[in-house]
């Protein structure tokens, strides 16, 4: 209730502020209204100013325009338009006068041959003797003009782009209507050739133009991200940024909560993609990378809709269906969507574990796994644009996962001190539940004068669980039936307010974010091979930040600082635990400098970030995997701090990214012995420190119908294992080679051949082997790109394997796995009357959602 009161208080204050501001603003429509009458109406509509003018002096000028939420001075400027007038403000007094004091005027109206008013047409009054210029003016929205003129007669010449210029002689006064006729020119042909710069620096990071490139016909936003430099998109749609991990993804400032949204956004609706590798102080301190997708602004009213259907086969059939519909009218938009998915998968696993405890034990396990997850969901949203600068909206999303079911029938061969002692058959059934998930958001984005306001309030509720049944059968050792049950409930309420204001040559931003979250989890093993667990974590955090950015010539700079205070209470079976309960108070500075000149772009940035343990990692439970392997949480985990220096350099189609990380108290997934027994226990533990270096070079030239992108990445990690009883591993570099080939066969038919090879690497205590992958795709569009069909084949040569060795304390674990990455599939998308969404909410507590 406290959290809800806090959010309601913020919303109430915002509403009161808006009501106060907009009570002082004017909304009026005028049509063929005299200037004198319009000023009289404005004078009655404001209490802040007294409007003074000579009634007869302005009576001949007419006004046709609509004023929406403007102050009195701005409203007067709008109705004055191009008329020869000036406005003077002296305290509470506004004076309006005509700058040309002639008693007579030339008055008329310009229309086209279809009787439509022609606005912004140039009207010149010429001397009838020598055609010298006497005076001139411009027509208003209704095609009307009023031009002071002292002559008795004048030549009236009217010109406008797209129309034939006309001239005629008239006596001074009201001359009625002049008709302009369209000027049509038939061209034999025009051919324009140009080469756009592929990559440049945006406001925050590397900006890739999609609208004017061949990528605008590639398919969906997921397909676009697969072609982005330093962005890796896996077969299940998971997105990672090189050396920065999983990013926050925004579409038009709206946070993407589900990666399926990327499948639903068509590539021809995307304007550009910005990849931010050094997020500033306005982002949560856990965010190390951001991808911003901006769409093309399209006009449209009435109904619009989209349909996206996929199907694939990897050993089992799966697919998804997405439907959305939007109704737009005037300033309002109502949006709804429905989706459903069924996703099959599997793994061919060969696992081995060596335990050097009281004796040497070696377990070799063959464990084929198959699973299928199903889910449905719905979302509704409402957005209303008060004017071009101010909008508010609401959204609610519900996801219901009917569960993820999996089975495995495996066998274990157990060796003790080099002698086979047992053979175990293991049958496992797993049932996961991921429902329901509720996500509600309310927002206001706008301007109050020069002050920019961005307010978001979010409520998030989630329930998930797992039931597992294991049957271990053996003629050599004890047979076991093991039944475990896990349940987890979490909820979060958050509010975020960001204010921005122009200061000198830049903009100052300040803001605050409040988050309150709760998570409750329980774990039970009916046979009591492992202890039961019941935990609850209540956590509140408040953050404030200030950031200033300015631009001077080709240079721009940005500096900011973020403060976060976190208070956490940890309960075990209802009792408060003093040691796991913590309070954190940290400052996170950031700074960057950018330079753009011609084809060159450069950015150097420093950021200080944190990584907080997920609530799953903090659980005080031990999960039973098999009689020799347990895994669990660690309630004593602490956040780690990362100091990063990041450099981006781009020249035309060539770019480089390099950086260095120093991580204090990194969280490492490590294997130890469970309570000194011959059992492996896997969990996260804080180590002393770690250092990373990384370099990436990307080349993306264009050769007409052939557009390749070549990328070479280098990474190397240095983990300090001092004080930990684990094998010291030699640090070795890792290289990743990627070549994406895009062929524009025809304007509507495209082919893609993507190849990747990654050498072995050492990541913390895990040494992975090299792997390779080749994917192919064709897309064909119909009906002016409203219908797009794609067919694809992934991992053609079945080489995308998972092979690693993990070294722990008295343990060594190995995995050799193929996860059925090879598949074929087809996608079909259709949309009608598609336009850009008005919804601009970004949500609050976005980093906290991933922890939940």
- The string of pLDDT tens digits covering residues 679-711 is 999 999 999 999 999 999 999 998 888 989 999
Looking at the domain assignment, is residue 551 inside a domain? yes
Q: Measured between alpha carbons, how far is residue 409 from residues 267, 486, 630, 679 in Å?
A: 43, 22, 19, 21
- Provide the pairing of β-strand 629-632 with 680-686: parallel
* pLDDT exceeds 50 at position 646: yes
Last residue of a domain, one of 295, 326, 341: 295
Q: State residue 848's pLDDT score.
A: 53
Long-range pairs of 7-16 with CB within 8 A, sequence gap ≥ 24? 7/457, 7/493, 7/495, 10/455, 10/457, 10/495, 10/497, 11/442, 11/455, 11/457, 14/444, 14/453, 14/455, 14/497
CATH number at residue 164: 2.60.40.10
215 or 499, higher pLDDT: 499
Domain containing 226 equals 201-295
Based on the domain organization, do 7 and 89 belong to the same domain? yes
* pLDDT exceeds 90 at position 268: no
Based on the domain organization, do 411 and 441 belong to the same domain? yes
Based on the domain organization, do 124 and 90 belong to the same domain? no
Looking at the domain assignment, is residue 186 inside a domain? no
Q: How far apart are CA 240 and CA 230, in angstroms?
A: 8
Tokens of 96: 């309006």
Express each pLDDT in 172-224 by its tens digit.
Answer: 999 999 999 887 655 555 454 444 556 677 778 888 888 877 787 777 888 89
* Other CB atoms within 10 Å distance of the CB of residue 66: 11
Last residue of a domain, one of 278, 295, 312: 295
- Provide the pairing of β-strand 206-209 with 133-138: unpaired
Phi, psi (degrees; rounded to nearest 5) at 38: -65, -40
Helix, strand, coil percentages (3-state) for the chain, rounded to 5, are 10, 60, 30
Burial group, residue 192, by CB count within 10 angstroms (0-12, 13-18, 19+): exposed
* pLDDT exceeds 90 at position 28: no
Based on the domain organization, do 176 and 211 belong to the same domain? no
Spatial contact of 646 and 278, defined as CB atoms under 8 Å apart: yes
Tokens of 425: 């058959």
Q: How far apart are CA 564 and CA 515, in angstroms?
A: 11
Q: State residue 196's pLDDT score.
A: 52
The position carrying tokens 């338009």 is 81
Question: Going edge to edge, which strands form the sheet with 206-209?
Answer: 199-201, 206-209, 270-276, 290-295, 248-251, 254-255
Based on the domain organization, do 306 and 290 belong to the same domain? no
Looking at the domain assignment, is residue 539 inside a domain? yes
Based on the domain organization, do 283 and 391 belong to the same domain? no
Going by pLDDT thresholds of 50, 70 and 90, the confidence category of residue 263 is confident
Looking at the domain assignment, is residue 196 inside a domain? no
Based on the domain organization, do 477 and 616 belong to the same domain? yes
Instruction: Give one DSSP letter per residue of 522-561, joined into a string.
Output: EEEETT-SS--EEEEEEEEEEEEEEEEEEEETTEEEEEEE
What's the angle, vertex CA 818, arms to CA 616 and CA 466, rounded to 5?
A: 30
The pLDDT of 819-823, averaged and rounded, is: 92
Based on the domain organization, do 138 and 249 belong to the same domain? no
CATH number at residue 41: 3.55.50.30
Looking at the domain assignment, is residue 408 inside a domain? yes
* pLDDT exceeds 60 at position 6: no
Domains held by the chain: number: 4
Q: How far apart are CA 421 and CA 679, in angstroms?
A: 16
Based on the domain organization, do 325 and 283 belong to the same domain? no
Q: State residue 24's pLDDT score.
A: 59
Express each pLDDT in 356-372 by its tens digit.
Answer: 999 999 999 998 998 88
* Other CB atoms within 10 Å distance of the CB of residue 303: 12
Looking at the domain assignment, is residue 66 inside a domain? yes
What are residue 577's DSSP bridge partners?
Answer: 570
Task: Please state whether the predicted TM-score (pTM) of the whole model is above 0.85.
Answer: no
Looking at the domain assignment, is residue 623 inside a domain? yes
Q: How far apart are CA 32 and CA 385, in angstroms?
A: 27
The position carrying tokens 């781009």 is 650
End-to-end CA distance of the chain: 20
Looking at the domain assignment, is residue 319 inside a domain? yes
Tokens of 53: 């003018």
Q: Is the dihedral of CA 206, 207, 210, 213 positive or negative?
A: negative
Spatial contact of 618 and 634, defined as CB atoms under 8 Å apart: yes
Express each pLDDT in 571-613 by its tens digit.
Answer: 999 999 998 898 999 999 999 999 988 888 899 999 999 999 9
Percent of the chain with pLDDT over 90: 50
Based on the domain organization, do 266 and 161 belong to the same domain? no
Last residue of a domain, one of 295, 328, 354: 295
Based on the domain organization, do 335 and 400 belong to the same domain? yes
CATH number at residue 561: 2.40.170.20
Based on the domain organization, do 684 and 612 belong to the same domain? yes
CATH number at residue 282: 2.170.130.10
């Amino acid at each position: 209730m406290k959290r809800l009161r806090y959010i309601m208080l913020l919303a109430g204050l915002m509403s009161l502020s808006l009501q106060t501001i907009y009570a002082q603003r004017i909304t009026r429509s005028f049509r063929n209204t005299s200037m004198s009458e319009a000023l009289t109406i404005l004078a009655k509509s404001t209490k802040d100013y007294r409007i003074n003018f000579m009634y007869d002096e302005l009576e001949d000028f007419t006004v046709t325009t609509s004023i929406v939420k403007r102050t009195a001075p701005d409203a007067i400027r709008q109705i004055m338009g191009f008329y020869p007038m000036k406005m003077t403000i002296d305290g509470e007094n506004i004076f309006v006068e005509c700058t040309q004091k002639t008693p007579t005027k030339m008055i008329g109206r310009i229309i086209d041959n279809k009787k439509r008013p022609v606005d912004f047409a140039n009207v010149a009054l010429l001397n009838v003797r020598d055609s010298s210029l006497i005076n001139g003016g411009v027509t208003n929205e209704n095609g009307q003009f009023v031009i002071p003129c002292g002559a008795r007669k004048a030549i009236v010449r009217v010109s406008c782009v797209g129309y034939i210029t006309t001239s005629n002689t008239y006596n001074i006064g009201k001359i009625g209507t002049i008709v302009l006729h369209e000027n049509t020119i038939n061209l034999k042909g025009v051919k324009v050739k140009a080469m756009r710069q592929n990559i440049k620096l945006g406001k925050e990071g590397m900006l890739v133009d999609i609208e004017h490139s061949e990528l605008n016909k590639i398919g969906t936003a997921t397909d676009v991200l697969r072609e982005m430099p330093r962005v890796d998109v896996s077969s299940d749609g998971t997105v990672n940024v090189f050396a920065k991990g999983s990013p926050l993804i925004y579409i038009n400032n709206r946070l993407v909560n589900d990666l399926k949204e990327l499948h639903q956004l068509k590539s021809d609706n995307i304007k550009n993609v910005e990849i931010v590798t050094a997020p500033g102080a306005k982002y949560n301190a856990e965010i190390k990378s951001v991808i911003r997708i901006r769409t093309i602004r399209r006009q449209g009213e009435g109904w619009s809709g989209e349909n996206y259907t996929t199907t694939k086969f990897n050993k089992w059939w799966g697919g998804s269906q997405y439907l959305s519909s939007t109704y737009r009218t005037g300033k309002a938009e109502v949006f709804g969507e429905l989706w459903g998915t069924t996703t099959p998968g599997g793994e061919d696993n060969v696992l081995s574990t060596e335990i050097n405890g009281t004796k040497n034990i070696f377990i070799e396990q063959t464990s084929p796994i198959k699973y299928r997850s199903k889910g449905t969901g719905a979302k509704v949203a409402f957005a209303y644009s008060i004017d071009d600068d101010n909008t508010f909206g609401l959204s609610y999303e519900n996801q219901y996962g009917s569960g993820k079911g999996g089975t495995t029938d495996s066998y274990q061969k157990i060796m003790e001190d080099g002698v086979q002692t047992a053979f175990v058959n293991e049958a496992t059934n797993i049932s996961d539940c991921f429902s329901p998930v509720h996500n509600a958001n309310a927002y206001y984005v706008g301007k109050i004068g020069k002050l920019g306001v961005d307010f978001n309030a979010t409520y998030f509720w989630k329930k998930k669980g797992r039931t597992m049944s294991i049957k271990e059968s053996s003629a050599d050792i004890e047979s076991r039936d093991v039944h475990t049950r896990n349940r987890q409930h979490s909820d979060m309420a958050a509010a975020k307010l960001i204010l921005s204001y122009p200061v000198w040559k830049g903009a100052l931003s300040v803001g605050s974010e409040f988050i309150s979250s709760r998570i409750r989890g329980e774990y039970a093993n009916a046979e009591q091979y492992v202890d039961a667990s019941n935990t609850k974590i209540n956590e509140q955090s408040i953050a404030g930040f200030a950031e200033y950015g300015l631009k001077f010539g080709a240079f721009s700079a940005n500096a900011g600082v973020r403060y976060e205070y976190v208070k956490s209470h940890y309960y075990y079976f209802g009792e408060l635990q003093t040691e796991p309960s913590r309070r954190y108070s940290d400052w996170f500075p950031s700074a960057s400098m950018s330079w753009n000149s011609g084809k060159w772009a450069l950015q150097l940035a420093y950021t200080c970030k944190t990584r907080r343990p997920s609530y799953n990692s903090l659980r005080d439970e031990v999960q039973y995997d098999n009689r020799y392997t347990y895994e669990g949480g660690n309630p004593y985990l602490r956040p780690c701090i990362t100091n990063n220096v990041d450099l981006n350099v781009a020249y035309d189609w060539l770019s480089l990214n390099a950086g260095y990380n120093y991580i204090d108290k990194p969280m490492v997934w490590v294997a130890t012995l469970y309570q000194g027994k011959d059992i492996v226990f896997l969990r996260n533990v804080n180590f002393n420190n770690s250092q990373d270096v990384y370099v990436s070079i990307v080349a993306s030239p264009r050769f007409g119908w052939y557009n390749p992108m070549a990328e070479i990445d280098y990474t190397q990690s240095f983990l300090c294992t001092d004080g930990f009883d684990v094998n010291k591993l030699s640090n070795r570099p890792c290289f990743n080679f990627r070549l994406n080939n895009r062929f524009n066969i025809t304007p509507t038919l495209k082919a893609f051949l993507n190849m990747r090879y990654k050498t072995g690497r050492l990541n913390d205590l895990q040494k992975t082997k090299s792997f390779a992958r080749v994917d192919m795709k064709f897309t064909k569009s119909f009906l002016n790109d409203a219908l797009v069909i794609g067919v694809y084949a992934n991992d053609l040569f079945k080489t995308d394997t998972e092979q690693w060795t993990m070294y722990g304390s008295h343990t060594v674990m190995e995995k050799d796995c193929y996860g059925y990455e090879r598949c074929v599939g087809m996608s079909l998308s259709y949309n009608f009357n598609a336009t850009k969404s008005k919804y601009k909410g970004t949500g609050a507590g976005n980093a906290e959602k991933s922890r939940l």
